[in-house]
Amino acid sequence: MKPRSLYLAFMAVLAAPFALAEADRYASISQDFHLNVVARTPAELTRIENVLALPEDFSVPQRFEDLSAGAATVRVVPDSNAFSQPSENLSFDGELSFRVGNGLFRKIWVSSPSSTLASDGLGPLFNARSCQRCHIKDGRGHVPEGDDDNAISMFLRISIPDDAAAIAGIEGYHGTAPDPNYGGQLQDFSLAGIAVENRLAISYEEIEVFLEGGEKASLRSPTYEAADLGYGPLHPDAMLSPRIAPQMIGLGLLEAIGAADILSWADPDDVDGNGISGRPNVVWSLEYDRPMLGRFGLKAGEPTVLSQSAGAFAGDIGISTPLHPSAAGDCTPAQTACQNAPHGDADVRGFEVDQEGLDLVTFYSRNLGVPARRDVDDPLVLRGKEVFYSTGCIDCHRPSYVTQRLTDRPAQSFQLIWPYTDMLLHDMGKGLADNRPEAVANGQEWRTPPLWGIGLTEQVSGHTQFLHDGRARSLLEAVLWHGGEAQAARDRVIEMPPEDRAALITFLESL
């Protein structure tokens, strides 16, 4: 962990540009341009210091630990709707907006022209016909399970190197461009009369891992192929990255964490010598026309929930928005049939999803409630928590934050939350590398995913597939895939007694 004194020094400048030398590197992204923030008082800073202190006694739960999302925490329901509830502290008007946004999130889009003007504009190339088709029940997607799987929630992101696309003033920004034939991602569905781009093919090799105590695990190492290409060969320098839809809960709370609070844990040069070199992704915001801290996506490639939503509309469904106005979605100029196909922009909306619709989907996505923790006082869970902390997992999976005090988002304002992420990029080693950069992130780096709700994955999604491409079939397999900066922690898990390993998994299942 970074020294506590350094953390507190950063806390003192949450509402102002950084003054510390280490923070100067990230001055351009240290402010929360997307939030209307009320500065914290000295008394509030003291309260925050106390409530975020790391535990010394693992025989009892910490205060408020069961409320994963503070006052926004929702009760655990016993079915697949556990991730589909509105934040507990939404107002009556907020719940109405949530329900309308949910309708747009679940809407099945159809091709143009259509008599249903509010629902036309699909594609012409697409990965899904609705947001819900990827984020099934607002949870994780799953890998292909057969030739007729129409809701695999997975695709291949694609780009080629392009030095001319680098953004001046952003150190280490990787200039990339879409593939000239296939765009920014490969779509596996299309409208009638238009060729599909590809069929995603996956093969696996099993790798045995031997654990202390005579136990053994098996990891499946995937190989991906863009098969049955419909528009000629890929560019010779094309880089592919498999992506599976992540769970949707708690996004508004992650968006409400102060940028300075996140950046205070960045240690790109590993000054503290703990082997962890987390760093932020710095991305260009179309919404604010400036560089911002990346927060969302598997490599933290988007700065806000709105920009993430607009990008998904464009790339996944082929729907235009004010942020991505192209009527043809991800179609390239080389895909002439796709470019010339009818679309749904030629009516009073102007875009297939106008600003009001985009705002409603964003509101819905921000306010999907995080379920409460289970069994926080169970002795096995508490032992697993101690193992989680002592093994070094919290060096990346930072347990808790207090969100910014906000003037216009009461449901996310000044909440103590427990997402278990530092929101930073980490080198996860060659085993998990996709070898495709994104903004500042390189081909071996991934954003630390939040762990809240992870124990409810099977209940919500009907499977236990984890990591960016669903290769891990259990939480233990997910841990054993950790490499790079997390290699030492992973090795400790292998070498620990079986009872401690079991306790660790039990703790994760309680989140």
Question: pLDDT category, 119, cuts 50, 70, 90?
Answer: confident
Distance from the Cα of residue 492 to its chain's centroid:
27
Q: Please compute the mean of the pLDDT values over residues 251-265 and round it to a whole number.
A: 97
Are 329 and 123 in contact by the 8 Å Cβ rule? The answer is: yes
Domain that holds residue 50: 1-511
Query: DSSP code of 301?
Result: -
Q: What is the pLDDT of residue 28?
A: 87
HSE-up (13 A, CA, CB side) for residue 476: 19
Q: Please compute the mean of the pLDDT values over residues 230-250 and round it to a whole number.
A: 96
Query: What is the SS3 assignment for 45?
Result: helix
Q: Please compute the mean of the pLDDT values over residues 492-501 and round it to a whole number.
A: 98
* DSSP run (H or E) holding 190: strand 189-190
Please determine, for residue 148, whether its predicted confidence score (pLDDT) is greater than 60: no
Q: Which two tokens stand for residue 387?
A: 């193992």
**In 3D, which of 355, 313, 333, 356 has the Cα closest to residue 121?**
313
Please determine, for residue 149, whether its predicted confidence score (pLDDT) is greater than 70: no
Instruction: Considering only the C-alpha atoms of the chain, give the largest distance between any 2 of them, rounded to a whole number of Å.
Output: 67
Cis-peptide into 124, omega within 30 deg = yes
Number of domains in the chain: 1
Looking up tokens 């179609």 gives: 331
Condensed to tens digits (0 to 9), the pLDDT of residues 48-98 reads 999 999 999 999 999 999 999 999 999 999 999 999 999 999 999 999 999
Looking up tokens 């169970």 gives: 378
Q: Which two tokens stand for residue 415?
A: 């909440």
Condensed to tens digits (0 to 9), the pLDDT of residues 265-297 reads 999 999 989 999 999 999 999 999 999 999 999
Question: pLDDT category, 357, cuts 50, 70, 90?
Answer: very high
Q: What is the pLDDT of residue 151?
A: 53
Please determine, for residue 370, whether its predicted confidence score (pLDDT) is greater than 70: yes
Question: pLDDT category, 116, cuts 50, 70, 90?
Answer: confident
Mean pLDDT of the chain: 92
Are 415 and 403 in contact by the 8 Å Cβ rule? The answer is: yes
Please determine, for residue 19, whether its predicted confidence score (pLDDT) is greater than 50: no
Query: DSSP code of 366?
Result: H
Question: pLDDT category, 2, cuts 50, 70, 90?
Answer: very low
* Burial annotation 203-218 (CB, 10 A radius, 16+ → b, else e): eeeeeeeebeeeeebe
Query: What is the SS3 assignment for 21?
Result: helix
The interaxial angle of helices 42-51 and 4-11, nearest 10 deg, is 150
Q: What is the DSSP string of 233-247?
A: PPPTT-EEEEEEPPP
Question: pLDDT category, 476, cuts 50, 70, 90?
Answer: very high
Per the confidence metrics, is the pTM higher than 0.85? yes
The radius of gyration of the chain's CA atoms, rounded to the nearest angstrom, is: 22
Strands 185-186 and 37-38: unpaired
Query: Which residues are bridge partners to 402 per DSSP?
Result: 416
Q: Torsions phi, psi of 202, nearest 5?
A: -130, 135
Name, in order, each residue with C-beta under 8 angstroms of 457's C-beta and a sequence gap of 6 or more: 139, 140, 247, 463, 464, 465, 466
Please determine, for residue 201, whether its predicted confidence score (pLDDT) is greater than 60: yes
Residue 176 CA to residue 182 CA, distance in Å, equals 14
Q: What percentage of residues in the chain have a pLDDT greater than 90? A: 86
> How many Å from the N-terminal Cα to the C-terminal Cα in the chain?
21
Q: What is the pLDDT of residue 400?
A: 98
The interaxial angle of helices 379-390 and 498-509, nearest 10 deg, is 100
- Which sign does the torsion angle of CA 389, 390, 393, 396 carry? positive
Please determine, for residue 3, whether its predicted confidence score (pLDDT) is greater than 60: no
Q: Please compute the mean of the pLDDT values over residues 436-454 and round it to a whole number.
A: 97
Q: What is the pLDDT of residue 8?
A: 35
Please determine, for residue 347, whether its predicted confidence score (pLDDT) is greater than 90: no
Q: What is the pLDDT of residue 147?
A: 55
- Which sign does the torsion angle of CA 316, 318, 321, 324 carry? positive
Q: Please compute the mean of the pLDDT values over residues 336-346 and round it to a whole number.
A: 87
Q: What is the pLDDT of residue 168?
A: 76
Per DSSP (E only), the strands in 313-374 are none
Q: Torsions phi, psi of 358, nearest 5?
A: -65, -40
- Which sign does the torsion angle of CA 102, 108, 110, 115 carry? negative
